[in-house]
Amino acid sequence: MKLVTSAQMKEIELRATQLAVPESELMLNAGSSVTEAIYRAELIDRDGDDYYQENTMVLILAGAGNNGGDAMVVSNLLKQELPDLQVRIYFYNRPRPKNGFNNKLTYTEAENQTGQFINDENDWADFCADLEQTHLVVDGLLGAGLSREVTGKLANIIRQINEVKEARSFDPYPLSVVAIDVPSGINSDTGQAMGIALKADLTVTLGMPKVGLISYEALEYTGVVTLGDIGLPPKLVDDFESSDLPTFVLADNIKRWLPPRPASGHKGTFGRLMVISGSDEFLGAPYLSTVASMRAGAGLVTLAATRNVIAVMAARSSENTYLELTEATLSSFAEKLADYRAALIGPGLGENSNLLAQLLAIDSIKKLPLVIDADGLNYLARTSEWWVNLSKGNILTPHPAELARLTESTIGEIEANRLESAQKAAQKFGQVIVLKGAYTVIAAPDGRIAVNPAANSALATAGSGDVLAGICGGLLVQAARFADFDTFKIACCGVYLHAMAGELAKREKGDMGVLAGDLLPLIPLAVEAIKQGESLE
Ligand SMILES: NC(=O)C1=CN([C@@H]2O[C@H](COP(=O)(O)OP(=O)(O)OC[C@H]3O[C@@H](n4cnc5c(N)ncnc54)[C@H](OP(=O)(O)O)[C@@H]3O)[C@@H](O)[C@H]2O)[C@@H](O)CC1
Ligand SMILES: [K+]
């Protein structure tokens, strides 16, 4: 599914109404999706008993636009389903019945005065007192219609919520915030806070994901970003699929793109992968990348390394085979490579320019699809015009510092323009670029660009990249038995599986202290979770 700007979203919504989907229906669906997301994230316990309900307070904040209309739908659904829940509504401004399209719900509620306007000092005191008692704020102040800096009364409301949330962050009953579509104050195109913005735990982006939400500026505000269905006709969404906008990778894509596992398959079917990894300094990387590739389904994996690395690895991993690789053994290594279908080069290799130069010049390696990571990338960055001699269409998995080295730019420049940086590099080098980080970007030489729908700090740990490289290698070797395999889709699958394993690890252990090794047994479970209908988006 494509990532869109607010203008593109408006256009799609307009087309939906032309296809006879009433605006009010979109809004009802929007509110219902947000409510479901609240339950799913356990911000409210749908099955809570009477005592729980009576003691739980939800504050609905509605602005004058359709974002406020969505909030009113949430309010109505919560009241219907959990009648004892304390639901209070505050209006920041008088809703306009003809603003954009139909937000009659907001208007009617406002006219009926079932909520309270924040006008004078008394209203403000009521709002602040209620906020102290509140467990969940539903933010419908401003959505994609944000048109200027946030100032005055609205800025005060947002600041007050942020402060109370911060003050109660370690309370047994913290204040949670769910943002409808975008956190109020965040520009949905750029991700920048327009003066001030609300800090949410969960953002339910509606219809199609807004491109600003995946920028690093927005990360501080969005919390977890999830997609809310508003019932757009599938044809409309499909029409957009052929555009060159960035794609948000969905679990449905991954299900279709994962290499098939025929029951009649044997280890040869799923392919032999050569992993070239490890050095005296980095003894963990070969373990993590080799085992990850096997956990991702490679038929047979050989670790090519020095004797020392092999001795350490053999004590830890019995399923893969080993091959000694030094400059002295290169020619026999090159011969053996003929039996392999793909190779992974780089994790923990250290600065080994001579070996890498000779390795990449070997004919049998030039014929293989490659994953190049870590020290493999650093070697390329030290080599002038390396992309001229490297075969095309391999997977390169740089983090921002590695991409900065490869492109002779700075980390700041990469981080400020993650999509563009990855896309330009992919086109210039003729390689699939996986730019790691929150919302990992995957770019293909033909211009396709995708964003993984997850920002999980549990994955920000040493060795996590080795696991990702291993997963990509394991998938690549399975896919490469088909002449027309699509490296870009394989890279998307690798990133998504890694992120799903990270999500499972976070559920088990939280986001602090997950080890890269914890991910390994979770890789097959991540595949299963996706097949069973779980998703990151
Ligand atoms: N379209 C659809 O199909 C669907 C849309 N949906 C929902 O609609 C949302 C978009 O709705 P929207 O266009 O009504 O804009 P919204 O964000 O509610 O705010 C506009 C109001 O805010 C005001 N305002 C702006 N900036 C301001 C500022 N800095 N400080 C103060 N005020 C400011 C602005 O005032 P004005 O600029 O007109 O003076 C106007 O009154 C979208 O995010 C999604 O939640 C869903 O229901 C599903 C279907
Ligand atoms: K909002």
Q: How far is the CA of 244 from the centre of ligand 2 (A)?
A: 27
| Closest protein CA for atom 46 of ligand 1 | 27
Same domain, yes or no, for 315 and 339? yes
Question: In which element (H, E) is residue 456 found?
Answer: none
Nearest to 186 by CA among 173, 172, 200, 175: 200
Please, are residues 434 and 372 in contact by the beta-carbon 8 Å criterion?
A: no
The answer to whether 263 is annotated as binding is: no
- This complex has an ipTM of 0.98
Same domain, yes or no, for 155 and 269? no
Q: How far is the CA of 142 from the centre of ligand 2 (A)?
A: 5
Q: How far is the CA of 15 from the centre of ligand 2 (A)?
A: 23
Could you tell me if residue 375 is inside a domain? yes
State mean pLDDT over 223-250: 90
239 band by pLDDT with thresholds 50, 70 and 90: confident
Q: How far is the CA of 179 from the centre of ligand 2 (A)?
A: 5
How far apart, in whole angstroms, are the C-alpha atoms of residue 145 and residue 493? 34
- The pLDDT of residue 103 is above 80: no
* Closest approach atom of ligand 1 to CA 69: 47
For residue 281, the 8-state DSSP code is S
State mean pLDDT over 128-135: 97
489 band by pLDDT with thresholds 50, 70 and 90: very high
How far apart, in whole angstroms, are the C-alpha atoms of residue 206 and residue 257? 25
Which ligand minimizes its atom distance to the CA of 32?
1
What digits encode the pLDDT tens for the residues 439-470?
999 999 999 999 999 999 999 999 999 999 99
How far apart, in whole angstroms, are the C-alpha atoms of residue 37 and residue 531? 21
Which ligand minimizes its atom distance to the CA of 9?
1
Could you tell me if residue 311 is inside a domain? yes
Per the listing, tokens 């033909």 go with: 446
φ and ψ at residue 383, rounded to 5 degrees: -110, 125
How far apart, in whole angstroms, are the C-alpha atoms of residue 256 and residue 478? 14
In single-letter form, the type of residue at position 315 comes to A
State mean pLDDT over 36-62: 95
Dihedral (CA of 335, 340, 342, 348) sign:
negative
What CATH number did the domain enclosing 307 receive? 3.40.1190.20
* Closest approach atom of ligand 1 to CA 180: 45
The answer to whether 461 is annotated as binding is: no
Could you tell me if residue 25 is inside a domain? yes
**Pocket lining for ligand 1, CB < 6 angstroms:** 10, 13, 26-27, 30, 63-70, 99-100, 142-150, 154, 180-181, 206, 230
* pLDDT value for 172: 87
Same domain, yes or no, for 332 and 427? yes
* Closest approach atom of ligand 1 to CA 23: 3
Same domain, yes or no, for 266 and 238? no
Q: How far is the CA of 231 from the centre of ligand 2 (A)?
A: 19
- 78 three-class SS: helix
Could you tell me if residue 149 is inside a domain? yes
More confident residue, 199 or 98: 199
How far apart, in whole angstroms, are the C-alpha atoms of residue 381 and residue 429? 12
How far apart, in whole angstroms, are the C-alpha atoms of residue 7 and residue 173? 38
* pLDDT value for 113: 56
For residue 378, the 8-state DSSP code is H
What's the mean per-residue pLDDT of the chain?
Answer: 94
Q: Which stretches of 181-330 are assigned E, i.e. beta strand?
A: 202-206, 224-228, 247-248, 272-276, 300-305, 321-324
Final residue in a domain of this structure, among 245, 277, 293: 245
Same domain, yes or no, for 223 and 342? no
State mean pLDDT over 138-164: 97
Which ligand minimizes its atom distance to the CA of 182?
2
Backbone dihedral region of 463: left (phi > 0), alpha (psi from -120 to 50 degrees) or beta? left
Q: How far is the CA of 280 from the centre of ligand 2 (A)?
A: 52
* pLDDT value for 64: 86
Q: How far is the CA of 30 from the centre of ligand 1 (A)?
A: 14
Could you tell me if residue 1 is inside a domain? no
Same domain, yes or no, for 293 and 224? no
- The pLDDT of residue 281 is above 70: yes
Calculate the alpha carbon distances from 458 to 347, 431, 476, 507, 511 in Å. Answer: 20, 28, 25, 10, 4
Same domain, yes or no, for 321 and 431? yes
- The pLDDT of residue 112 is above 80: no
State mean pLDDT over 60-81: 92
Same domain, yes or no, for 97 and 190? yes
Could you tell me if residue 536 is inside a domain? no
φ and ψ at residue 525, rounded to 5 degrees: -70, -30
93 band by pLDDT with thresholds 50, 70 and 90: confident
How far apart, in whole angstroms, are the C-alpha atoms of residue 262 and residue 522? 22
* pLDDT value for 101: 42
Test site for ligand 1: of 67, 150, 154, 178, most ligand atoms within 8 A of the Cβ: 67
Range of the domain at 44: 6-245
Listed range (91-100, 226-235, 385-394, 477-486) with the worst mean pLDDT: 91-100
Same domain, yes or no, for 322 and 300? yes
Final residue in a domain of this structure, among 214, 245, 276: 245
Q: How many CB atoms neighbour CB 1 within 10 A?
A: 20
* pLDDT value for 243: 82
CA angle 228, 178, 194 (to 5 degrees): 100
* pLDDT value for 108: 59
Following DSSP, what letter does each residue of 304-363 receive, concatenated?
EE-HHHHHHHHTT--SSEEEE-SGGGHHHHHHHGGG-SEEEE-TT--S-HHHHHHHHH-H
| Closest protein CA for atom 9 of ligand 1 | 67
How far apart, in whole angstroms, are the C-alpha atoms of residue 374 and residue 347? 5
Which ligand minimizes its atom distance to the CA of 65?
1
- The pLDDT of residue 147 is above 50: yes
107 band by pLDDT with thresholds 50, 70 and 90: low
Test site for ligand 1: of 138, 141, 142, 210, most ligand atoms within 8 A of the Cβ: 142
Nearest to 207 by CA among 27, 61, 72: 27
420 CB-side CA count, 13 A: 7
Same domain, yes or no, for 282 and 408? yes
Test site for ligand 1: of 15, 99, 153, most ligand atoms within 8 A of the Cβ: 99
Test site for ligand 1: of 12, 13, 66, 104, most ligand atoms within 8 A of the Cβ: 66
19 band by pLDDT with thresholds 50, 70 and 90: confident
The answer to whether 103 is annotated as binding is: no
* pLDDT value for 100: 44
The percentage of the chain sitting over the pLDDT mark of 90, rounded to a whole number, equals: 88
* Closest approach atom of ligand 1 to CA 144: 43
φ and ψ at residue 420, rounded to 5 degrees: -65, -40
What CATH number did the domain enclosing 148 receive? 3.40.50.10260
The answer to whether 506 is annotated as binding is: no
Final residue in a domain of this structure, among 245, 269, 300: 245
Same domain, yes or no, for 359 and 313? yes
Q: How far is the CA of 62 from the centre of ligand 1 (A)?
A: 10
Same domain, yes or no, for 213 and 290? no
| Closest protein CA for atom 25 of ligand 1 | 146
Could you tell me if residue 173 is inside a domain? yes
358 band by pLDDT with thresholds 50, 70 and 90: very high
- The pLDDT of residue 222 is above 50: yes
Could you tell me if residue 115 is inside a domain? yes
- The pLDDT of residue 106 is above 80: no
Total domains, the chain: 2
